[in-house]
Amino acid sequence: MIGLSKGERTREMILARAAPLFNSKGYGRVSMSDLMQATGLEKGGIYNHFRSREELMVEAFRYAADVVRRRVEERTAGPVSSADRLREMVAVYGEFALQPPIEGGCPLLNAAVESDDADPALREQVAEAMERWFRAIRVTLVRGIRRGDVRPDVDVEGTATLIISTLEGAVMLSRLYRTGAHMQSAVRHLQSYIESTIRA
Amino acid sequence: MIGLSKGERTREMILARAAPLFNSKGYGRVSMSDLMQATGLEKGGIYNHFRSREELMVEAFRYAADVVRRRVEERTAGPVSSADRLREMVAVYGEFALQPPIEGGCPLLNAAVESDDADPALREQVAEAMERWFRAIRVTLVRGIRRGDVRPDVDVEGTATLIISTLEGAVMLSRLYRTGAHMQSAVRHLQSYIESTIRA
């Protein structure tokens, strides 16, 4: 926050408090009074910093997605093989199911499901954030193929889809039933898939 | 609808029109005027048949989940082996991703993600409907083990979790990107898993 103007700090504070609210209650269910209570600001104080509710929602989503992405990147950095990096990515998401870095679970899943038919601006941001996740998996696989620690015949797109689908579906089940069993089972499956089909 | 009283028919009509609305827009985003427009009734005419908005949402969810369940049951009935029945279940869900039997995609996914932190009454109904899906897979596997067409060492719970997680995650991606590619890839993975790990 060093180097930010007072206005920028207030904007950042609003996002930091609005993001968990939208992510847990749902973008459509958060009321103005929820936002005022969470930020300690009046309506005008909030909309000084955002042109519209739509802009606030989109920026809060980006904030939430960034929190998760940074946490995943911290945990999956380091000079490991591609297969190990994928295993770690899967394990980190597994832990997030019940202890998410931001209240309400996975921002991508929540905002994707809420926006797909109802909110084109939010949906576009979610598609972009999801694309970054796909890209991270693709880059990891392609680098592994080049270095020889990933099988050269691996289905790059199919693997990315499988990892993301299975993890996000398991997040949904874990949060619905408030138990870690489904995620544990999904993580086990994906890690054994990584060993049998991806690692060279 | 034969044998229903006029009141019962009106209630049924309200559910048939409210269910796709809640399922596509989200339970929290549907307004009273959306409901009035969809049903052609005034507020009082709707709430003659439901004690509260909560009851209407829960009943509309059950209606939507029943539509999907009946479509799956129709397609997966018949004297086939357990492995074939699971393959068919997966294939049917694959088709639903972009052509759902009820507007808005999978009612279980939508309502699970929306209700997990925000709506305990709806969440309880979703957990029950999801449990029916788990049970259908369990019963299919256990019957297959008894008849000898499913391997006796199959992980029943893990398989149910894998099928449901992967399909629901792929539904989310398919609807976010409006393309069938992710679901095709998920279906291929699950069907190959059924052949390699489940079929005796």
What pLDDT score was predicted for residue B98?
A: 85
User: Facing residues of B150 across strands?
Assistant: B199
Nearest residue to A104 via CA among A175, A191, A178, A13: A175
Check if A121 contacts B (Cβ < 8 Å): no
Supply the DSSP symbol for A194: I
pLDDT, average across residues B63-85:
91
Residue B135 CA to residue B163 CA, distance in Å, equals: 12
Encode A33-68: b = buried (16+ Cβ within 10 Å), e = exposed: eebeebbebeeeebbebbeeeeebbbbbbbbbbebb
In the structure, what pLDDT confidence band is assigned to residue B2 with cuts at 50, 70 and 90? low
Check if A117 contacts B (Cβ < 8 Å): yes
The string of DSSP letters for B84-116 reads HHHHHHHHHHHHHTTS-SSTTS-HHHHHHHHHT
What pLDDT score was predicted for residue A2?
A: 65
Q: What pLDDT, in 10s, does the model give residues B44-70?
A: 999 999 999 999 999 999 999 999 999
B165/A173 CB distance under 8 A: yes
pLDDT, chain B, mean: 95
CA torsion angle B105 B109 B115 B116 (round to 10): -160
Distance from the A19 Cα atom to the nearest Cα atom in chain B, whole angstroms: 14
**Would the pLDDT of B1 be above 60?**
no
Q: Which among B110, B123, B186 has the least Cβ separation from residue A113?
A: B110
Q: What pLDDT, in 10s, does the model give residues A85-132?
A: 999 999 999 999 889 999 999 999 999 999 999 899 999 999 999 999
What pLDDT score was predicted for residue A78?
A: 75
- Closest chain A residue to the Cα of B120, Cα to Cα: A176
Residue A63 CA to residue A115 CA, distance in Å, equals: 17
- Closest chain B residue to the Cα of A118, Cα to Cα: B25
The string of DSSP letters for A72-137 reads HHHHH-SS--HHHHHHHHHHHHHHHTTS-SSTTS-HHHHHHHHHTTT-HHHHHHHHHHHHHHHHHH
**Would the pLDDT of B190 be above 90?**
yes
pLDDT, average across residues B144-152:
96
Check if A176 contacts B (Cβ < 8 Å): yes
Q: Kindly report the backbone phi and psi dihedral angles of residue A150, in degrees, each rounded to the nearest multiple of 5, phi listed first.
A: -125, 140
Check if B109 contacts A (Cβ < 8 Å): yes
Check if B135 contacts A (Cβ < 8 Å): no
Q: Which two tokens stand for residue B151?
A: 């391997």
pLDDT, average across residues B72-94:
90
Give the Cβ contact number of residue B151 at 10 Å.
15
pLDDT < 50 regions, chain A: none
Check if B101 contacts A (Cβ < 8 Å): no
B199, B149 Cβ separation under 8 angstroms? yes
CA A49 to chain CA centroid, Å, is 24
How many beta-carbon pairs under 8 angstroms link A with B? 146
B25/A167 CB distance under 8 A: no
Helix axes B156-177, B82-96, angle to 10 degrees: 20
The ipTM assigned to this model is 0.95
In the structure, what pLDDT confidence band is assigned to residue B163 with cuts at 50, 70 and 90? very high
Q: Which among B24, B118, B173 has the least Cβ separation from residue A117?
A: B24
Distance from the A85 Cα atom to the nearest Cα atom in chain B, whole angstroms: 21
Check if B98 contacts A (Cβ < 8 Å): no
Residue B138 CA to residue B127 CA, distance in Å, equals: 16
Q: Which two tokens stand for residue B67?
A: 């539509």
User: Facing residues of A126 across strands?
Assistant: none
Q: Which among A104, A118, A182 has the least Cβ separation from residue B161?
A: A182
